[in-house]
Structure 1
Amino acid sequence: MTTAGVVSAMVVKSHLTARATDIFLVTFPKSGTTWIKALLYSALHRRADELLAHSPHQLISFLESQVFVKDRIPDLSSLPEPRLLMTHIPSQLLPDSVAASGCKVVYLCRDPKDCFVSLWHFWNRFMPWNIDDAHWQFCNGVSLFGLYWEHVLSYWNWHVERPSEVLFLTYEELAADTLGHLRRLAEFVGRPFTTEEQDAGVDRKIVEICAMESLSGLEVNRSGMTNFTEKDVPNNIFFRRGVVGDWRNHLTPEMARRIDEITEVKFKGSGLLLHPPFLQVKRELNEL
């Protein structure tokens, strides 16, 4: 997280009071944020057509880089319920009222190797960055990459403790069964698709419109801009390939092995395993 992001996170923690009806959407950067924003907004409002004219980042703004910025402390009390709030903030930096209120938290996790590659591509558009140097920084939790494993693990532990309040999804399972997990997501936030809606294909239409290849082809995402902190950012920088396992095209076997080794050590004893064993653990937890 950048210095400005840290300051904004502190302001969010001090001035945002969560409500029981709130829905917090949380990801580590480049974990499928744009996609999950589109899916959750459409599931909640049943208005996927808004994506034709607005970037997902305009429909669901980041608390720390679009809402609490430029020394602003916005009044969010008038927002209609449920308020849909987005952040990359680690769980320990969220306002205490988030956990105390019992509101809903949706967390999306991604394989750290794909997450790293996507991060590297993103920042490389702003400044040339050797992938070896970026890999070292990611593995050592420094600079702009932050602490991937600590971020993921804190929300996983919260999910294990309060599964009815924290939904923990992976990018990989969402990609494997988007329709099934969209239905699960809608039910979790209190807007389950009715039998009539499913028969009419409402949920399938949302999946189609929110598919990355569909979103990236829209004019608003090809040439539009969204304001972040102090400048307008092209919407197209938020779209890359979105392919599961794309890390194989960029990482050497040794680089991939290093990330896997760190993952194994960091997650040891937590019950959090990466797919496919990870998905089996999740199924067993959900059956309890």
Structure 2
Amino acid sequence: MAKNIPYKVSFVPKSREEEEEDEKIYNRYREIVATTLPTTKGWADKLIYQYEGFWYCPGIVGVGPLAVQDHFKAWPSDILLASFPKCGTTWLKSLAFAVINRETHPPSAQQQHPLLAFNSHDLVPMLEIRLYNDNFNGNQIPNLDMLPSPRLFGTHMPYTSLPQSVALSGSRIIYICRNTKDNLVSWWHFLNKIRTDLSLEPMKLEEVFELFCKGMSASGPFWGHVLGYWKESLERPQNVLFLKYDEMMAEPALHLKRIAEFIGCPFSSMEEKEGLVDEIIKLCSFENLSNLAVNKKGSSDHTGFPNSAYFRQGKVGDSANYLSPEMMEELDCITKQKLHGTGLTL
């Protein structure tokens, strides 16, 4: 498993002194969350906390965002896949992993491809949810220097909360966002899958809608999260690629080639002629990944949630089947107001 999930080598045994030091570090973060940060009733029967203007569920991220800021040191060759939750994260991770590893793991040899044996969240670990999360890493600060370059990570943290080394190192960020209404409905479905797993009653759409509009969704507010990466993509387009899920669904080949070029491994004319782009799209398609045994019955190593929770429909415009006309109008109004003058439309 370690061979196919490289990040696991980051958690090598430490000396007793090092373990005690890591424990002190995490205890300090937990004290900060418990005593100094705003908290309120959360979505999974636990309090959520606000850190630097954005909301986090300690049951999912622990004190990960604080630990990432202090301990993650970006390399120039790093590739960070950033997103607001439920905006196409699983698909983006699958595509990026397949592109970067296409020589060692050709998509045509599907029966041997890691994406067929592991969920993409296990192959591309989230910084704050898996690597630096005290709930899942045994209170151990990982040694990411042991990972081969280019290192591929994911995050739901807003751009303004990322460690300074991300910008200073020149590492590259690919950000994916989604239509506001579809994102809300997708989050509602995912949230209730989690609550069911925790033996909790599902939340009503009206209740989740109200929280979302107040900016109180996971890593929310949604609009502040999106705008942080959008503005940075305008200022540093060579380092931040901004993608829209809706556009990627409409023209997957075009955007897959953009991704490959951005991360420094563009498709050659021969690769395109041989159909490699289409093979990767097929390998990473919703239809293919959602029907794999690992994604139908397995559980994600990075959260313990069932992998099936990351696959529902993946369709554009599905929110119209759930939101009332009044809800859709209110979300459109808020989105228009929040994005006014930025040049961004969702």
Closer/same/farther in 2, CA of residues 87 and 28 from structure 1, 3 Å limit: same
- Displacement after TM superposition at 1:227 (Å): 2.3
Q: Distance in 2 between matches of 1:268 and 1:152?
A: 13
- Displacement after TM superposition at 1:219 (Å): 1.0
Q: Distance in 1 between matches of 2:252 and 2:291?
A: 19
Question: Which residue identity lines up with residue 132 of structure 2 in the other structure?
Answer: F
Closer/same/farther in 2, CA of residues 23 and 234 from structure 1, 3 Å limit: same
Question: Which residue identity lines up with residue 59 of structure 1 in the other structure?
Answer: L
- Displacement after TM superposition at 1:44 (Å): 1.0
Spell out structure 1 runs of 4+ moving beyond 6 A: none
Question: Which residue identity lines up with residue 101 of structure 2 in the other structure?
Answer: H
1:75 aligns with 143
2:37 aligns with none
- Displacement after TM superposition at 1:145 (Å): 6.1
SS in 1 for 2:144: coil
Of residues 221, 230, 240, the one that matches 2:295 is 221
Q: How many residues align?
A: 272
2:341 aligns with 269
Q: Distance in 2 between matches of 1:145 and 1:41?
A: 24
Closer/same/farther in 2, CA of residues 238 and 124 from structure 1, 3 Å limit: same
Q: Distance in 2 between matches of 1:74 and 1:41?
A: 21
2:72 aligns with 16
Closer/same/farther in 2, CA of residues 134 and 104 from structure 1, 3 Å limit: same
Closer/same/farther in 2, CA of residues 190 and 144 from structure 1, 3 Å limit: closer
Q: Distance in 2 between matches of 1:83 and 1:94?
A: 16
Between structure 1 and structure 2, the one with the greater Rg is 2
Closer/same/farther in 2, CA of residues 269 and 27 from structure 1, 3 Å limit: same
Of residues 36, 53, 66, the one that matches 2:117 is 53
Of residues 261, 264, 284, the one that matches 1:187 is 261
Larger mean CA deviation between 47-56 and 208-217 belongs to 47-56
2:307 aligns with 235
Asked if residue 106 in structure 1 is aligned to residue 174 in structure 2, the reply is: yes
- Displacement after TM superposition at 1:146 (Å): 2.0
On the 8 A contact 1:137/1:145 being kept in 2, the answer is no
Gaps of 5+ in 1: 275-288
- Give the structure with the larger helix fraction: 1
Q: CA RMSD in A?
A: 1.2
SS in 2 for 1:142: coil
Q: Distance in 2 between matches of 1:195 and 1:144?
A: 41
1:2 aligns with 57
Closer/same/farther in 2, CA of residues 178 and 268 from structure 1, 3 Å limit: same
- Displacement after TM superposition at 1:224 (Å): 1.2
Question: Which residue identity lines up with residue 218 of structure 1 in the other structure?
Answer: L
2:12 aligns with none
Counterparts of 1:24-173 in structure 2, within 5 Å, are 24-46=80-102, 47=105, 48=107, 49-70=113-134, 71-125=139-193, 126=195, 127=200, 128-142=202-216, 144=218, 146-173=220-247
SS in 2 for 1:225: coil
Question: Which residue identity lines up with residue 199 of structure 1 in the other structure?
Answer: K
SS in 1 for 2:68: helix
Question: Which residue identity lines up with residue 175 of structure 1 in the other structure?
Answer: M
Closer/same/farther in 2, CA of residues 131 and 180 from structure 1, 3 Å limit: same
On the 8 A contact 1:13/1:95 being kept in 2, the answer is yes
SS in 2 for 1:120: helix
Question: Which residue identity lines up with residue 130 of structure 2 in the other structure?
Answer: Q
Larger mean CA deviation between 146-155 and 44-53 belongs to 44-53
Question: Which residue identity lines up with residue 95 of structure 1 in the other structure?
Answer: P
Asked if residue 178 in structure 1 is aligned to residue 246 in structure 2, the reply is: no
Q: Distance in 1 between matches of 2:219 and 2:322?
A: 17
Q: Which has the higher contact order (CA 8 A, sep 6+)?
A: 1
- Displacement after TM superposition at 1:144 (Å): 3.9
SS in 2 for 1:169: strand
2:29 aligns with none
SS in 2 for 1:30: coil
- Displacement after TM superposition at 1:182 (Å): 0.4
SS in 2 for 1:37: helix
Q: Distance in 2 between matches of 1:167 and 1:115?
A: 20
- Displacement after TM superposition at 1:258 (Å): 0.8
Gaps of 5+ in 2: 1-55, 108-112
1:246 aligns with 318
On the 8 A contact 2:121/2:302 being kept in 1, the answer is no
Q: TM-score, normalised by structure 2?
A: 0.77
Q: Distance in 2 between matches of 1:78 and 1:184?
A: 29
Q: Distance in 1 between matches of 2:219 and 2:212?
A: 6
1:281 aligns with none
Question: Which residue identity lines up with residue 146 of structure 1 in the other structure?
Answer: G
